[in-house]
Structure 1
Amino acid sequence: MNEAIDIATLVGFVGMVCIIAAYAYLTWKQEPNPFILHGTNLIGAALLTVSLLVHTNWPSLMLEGFWAAIAIWGLFKAMRDHRRKT
């Protein structure tokens, strides 16, 4: 494996770090901020999708689609809950 890392792969690695960081944040924080959690997951899914559009892997691409959809739903839910509290 002597291939150089292209920009799409680098973008995918950044997305992977975002998703892992969001999961770590969820695990470590007693009361995680849902905007940070779901926003970071959405950014990670979007970045991984960019990488997967260049280096197509259909199962992973579908996974990122669901990951993004769940993050968007979580953000909408957090916004709704925030509006109810204020």
Structure 2
Amino acid sequence: MTEQIDIYSLIGFVGTACIIGAYFYLTAVEKPNPLILHGTNLTGAALLTISLLVHTNWPSLVLEGFWAAIAIWGLAKWWRGRNRIREGARKA
């Protein structure tokens, strides 16, 4: 394997590091911050998607689509909960 690593592969490696880092964070921290967890996962999925659009691997590309969708759902859930807390504080 003497093939040079191109910029798209490097982007994919950074995406992989983001997803692994987010999983480590989830495991290591007692109460993970959803913004950090899901934001890092979404960033990782986006970077891996960029890599996979050049070096196509359809099963991995589909996986990243689901990974991104779950991260977006988690961020939306966090955002809605944050807004509910703010509204409750204003009413009190």
TM-score by length of 2: 0.92
**Count of aligned residue pairs for this structure pair:** 86
Compute the displacement of 1:25 (Å). Answer: 0.3
Matched, 1:56 2:60: no
For residue 3 of structure 1, what is the aligned residue in structure 2? 3
TM-score by length of 1: 0.99
CA distance in 2, matches of 1:84, 1:24: 29
Instruction: Give the counterpart letter for 2:14 in structure 1.
Output: V
**Residue segments in structure 1 that go unaligned for 5+ positions in a row:** none
CA distance in 1, matches of 2:35, 2:82: 10
Q: 1:33-44 alignment to 2 at 5 Å?
A: 33-44=33-44
Compute the displacement of 1:56 (Å). Answer: 0.2
**Residue segments in structure 2 that go unaligned for 5+ positions in a row:** 87-92
For residue 27 of structure 2, what is the aligned residue in structure 1? 27
Compute the displacement of 1:53 (Å). Answer: 0.2
Compute the displacement of 1:35 (Å). Answer: 0.3
Based on CA coordinates, which of the two structures has the bigger radius of gyration? 2
